[in-house]
Structure 1
Amino acid sequence: MTSEVLDPRVDPEPPYWRELRALAGLRGDWAWDVLRQQAWCARTPWSVAVTLEGSRPRWFVAAAWIGTRSRRHRFATSRRGGLLGGLDVRAPGSGAFPAWWFADTDGDGGCGRLLTEYLPSMRRLFGAGMKATLIRQVPGEGVATLAGRFHLVRETEPIARVPTAGFTSGDDWLASLPRRRKAQLRKVFDAIEADVDLTVEVLPGSAVDAVELAELLRLNEVKHRDVPIVPLPQFVGYLRRLLLQPDVFVLCYRDGNSRRLVAAATVYDHPQWPLARAWSSLPVEDGGRADAYFHMYGELVRWSIERGRRGVVLGKKMAKLKTSLGAELVPQYAAVVPVR
């Protein structure tokens, strides 16, 4: 076995990375050039640790270094790590999936190997200044493994996903919903479909202008300032590279006359569970469409059914609303583990 720790900002794409992405089921935001752009736009430096058996990847873990130099308005420096801090094990884009993969997980989602293999190797790299690790997106089966003396494990927001494998059409999904929600959505769908001045289509990301989409997505990001550290704005350079990935699509709502993009959702395709990543729309008074947000869910479900997927992942937040749309909630946890 051999191991290496990579910095996406400066290290070239390793020859095994595409194979690893396929084995681990990683979506378009894990493409190496996308990771590189994300890492340069991040507040904290990133590392990707990989272990190989021969030339074949056996596991990887991605994490950000959180130290005394971290500031909400400061970007990552060229320095790896710092004198005192810890690792934040989390995915670089979506918080819906873990930032690790192990070929063998022992039934605990890989959490045991995080403790026995990953953390010791990173402690050797960062030294005694590495005091703790925050592990996010922990699956339920890993909670018992991460529990222990001085370990803090807490449930976080669940992930909503709509199973679609049992449906043959969007109408089947709609018929399965509670009566009041079904009636409301029928009105929404009829109104959107009757709007002759609106076009709705799912396009490959490469067919969408990154600048136009970034401007729209920033409108939604401005609304969500209810977290301790305000998210960074949507960077055009990052988005441009993301949209070029063959598994990234955009659900576009355009004004039929001006061709202006009035609403959009990004979707990362996957053989089983596509992920609905980002959504934004113009205010109605500025040309947006009422209830396009609800229509978006119907379009994503229909798209998932047509592509033969198991379902579509809707991410965090708005759990009550999403369950009314037929979503199941998958529990997730976070753990703080001291490193000694």
Structure 2
Amino acid sequence: MSIEVLDPRFDAEPVYWRRLLADAGLRADWAWDVLCEQAWCARTPWYLTVSLDGSRPRGLVGAAWVGARTRRYRFTASPRGGGFGGLDIRAPGSNAFPAWWFADLGDDAGCQELLRAYLPTMRRLLGVGLKAALIRQVPEAALDVVRGRLRVVRETEPIARIVTERFDSRADWFAALPKQRRMNLRKMFDAVDEDPRVVVEILRGEAVDVVELARLLRVNEVKHRDVPIVPLPQFVGYLRRLLAQPDVFVLSYRDTGTGALLGAGMVFDHPEWPLGRSWSSLPVEDGGRRGLYFHFYGELVRWAIAEGRRGVVLGKKMSRLKASMGAELLPQYAVAMPVP
């Protein structure tokens, strides 16, 4: 077994990368050209560590190096970590999925492999300056593996997903919801569906005006500044690469009178669990329309049923609201630990 540690800013796409994405079931934000663009737009250097059996990839871990020089408004510049810091093991795009995959995950979802093989490998690469690691998206089944002396384990926001394979139509999904939620949603959905001023479309990403979409997505980013380190805005270059991927769709709402993009959300397709990501809409006071956020989830359900998917992943945030729309909540944990 051999190990490669890659930096998308400087390394060319490995010959095995597309096979790795297919084997691991990874979505559009792991495509190499998307990773390259994301890495140059990040605050911190990124490392992609791949374990290989000959030429066949058997494992992947993505992590950001967070050092003393990391700042909110500073972009990454150094080709390597250096100094003192730690690894933030998190996915490069959506935080709805772990940043690692192993061919033989086991009951602990691969967490034992992170501790046994990955962290010692990175310590050898980065040296004694690597002092700590933060592992995100740890499932409940792996808690016994990650607990230990000097380790801090905390529950984070759960991942919401709606299982759609048991429904034949959106009406079946409606029927499974609590009565009050069902009545409210049906009223909102009918209002949008019957409004001649609103056209709803599911478009391939490459057909979308990237500048228009980026401008709309920034509306939502400005509204949700409730985290210690404010997320960077949507960069047009990154978004253009992402929308060009064949498994990216955009569910859009447009005003037929003014031509304004009222709301939009990206969908990362997947054979079993597509992901609804990056929703944003115009405020009502700026010409937007009420009810589009809820309608977006209804359209995701309708689309997932029509495409024969097991379900759709709704990500984090607003867990109680998503649960009221029939989503199951999957517990997630984070562990902070020293790297000896």
Which stretches in structure 1 are left out of the alignment for 5+ residues?
none
Give, as a single letter, the amino acid of the residue that structure 2 aligns with 1:315: G
Aligned partners of 1:320, 1:86: CA distance in 2, in Å?
33
Question: Which residue is equivalent to 1:324?
Answer: 324
- 2:266 match: 266
Distance 1:152 1:335 in 2: 5
State percent identity of aligned pairs.
67
C-alpha distance in structure 1 between counterparts of 2:300 and 2:259, whole Å? 22
Structure 1 residue 260 displacement after superposition:
1.9
Secondary structure of the corresponding residue to residue 148 of structure 1: coil
1:105 Cα shift?
Answer: 2.1
What secondary structure sits across from 2:206 in the alignment?
Answer: helix
- 1:230 is aligned to 2:230: yes
C-alpha separation in 1, matches of 2:208 and 2:321: 29
1:277-288 equivalences in 2 (<5 Å): 277-288=277-288
**CA-CA distance at 1:97 after TM superposition:** 0.3
SS in 2 for 1:332: strand
For 1:106 and 1:183, the matched residues in 2 are separated by 43
- Write the distance in 2 (CA, Å) between the matches of 1:320 and 1:69: 37
Q: Does residue 1:199 correspond to 2:199, yes or no?
A: yes
What do residues 62-115 of structure 1 show as CA deviations (whole Å, max 9, x unaligned)? 000000110011001133102100100000111100000001123100000000
Distance in structure 1 (CA, Å) of the matches to 2:187 and 2:7 = 50
What's the RMSD between the two structures over aligned residues? 0.7
Alignment pair present for 1:48 and 2:53? no
Which residue in 2 is equivalent to 1:13? 13
2:212 maps to which residue?
212
User: What amino acid is the match of 2:184?
Assistant: Q
Say whether residues 1:36 and 2:45 are aligned partners.
no
2:95 and 2:331 map into 1 onto residues whose CA distance is: 13
* Pairs aligned (count): 340
Cα distance in 2 between the residues matched to 1:323 and 1:196: 31
* Residues 69, 82 of structure 1: 8 Å contact kept: no
Asked if residue 24 in structure 1 is aligned to residue 43 in structure 2, the reply is no
SS state of the match for residue 157, structure 2? coil
Q: Give the distance between the partners of 2:295 and 2:250, measured in 1 at CA.
A: 14
Partner Cα distance (1:199, 1:16) in 2: 41
Q: For residues 183-198 of structure 1, what are the structure 2 equivalents within 5 Å?
A: 183-198=183-198
2:90 match: 90
CA distance in 2, matches of 1:36, 1:309: 30
Give matches, 1:103-182, under 5 Å: 103-182=103-182
Q: Distance in 1 between matches of 2:201 and 2:181?
A: 24
Do 1:68 and 1:82's aligned partners in 2 also have CA atoms closer than 8 Å?
no
Q: Helix, strand or coil for the counterpart of 1:87? A: strand
